[in-house]
Amino acid sequence: MRGPYVNEDYSEVLLPVTEYTFNAARHEAASWAQEFIDTWGRSRYTGKRTTTLHDHADWEECTVCPPEVAWCFDVYEGTPKWR
């Protein structure tokens, strides 16, 4: 499977709709957030977006990768839920 993709400041996780069901994408985004933001990493679904996803290092100059629809998740540091 392709992905997950992240934006430049690592605040979003993007997963291609053609590769992931919504539940699989939600799980992958949550796993990525927990790995990236040590203990309290969380992800929040923000919707679908048509964007360009790159699998190569020279993505800034790329003009050949086509736009595609992706599930989008914000990544943030959550807080513990104490009872």
List the pLDDT tens digit at each of the 83 positions of the chain: 677 888 888 889 999 999 999 999 999 999 888 887 776 788 999 999 998 888 777 777 788 888 999 999 998 887 766 54
Query: How much is the pLDDT for 81?
Result: 64
Query: How much is the pLDDT for 6?
Result: 85
pTM: 0.82
Quote the CA–CA distance of 41 and 35 in Å, as a whole number.
7
Ordered by start, the domain boundaries in the chain are 5-77
CB atoms within 10 A of CB 75: 23
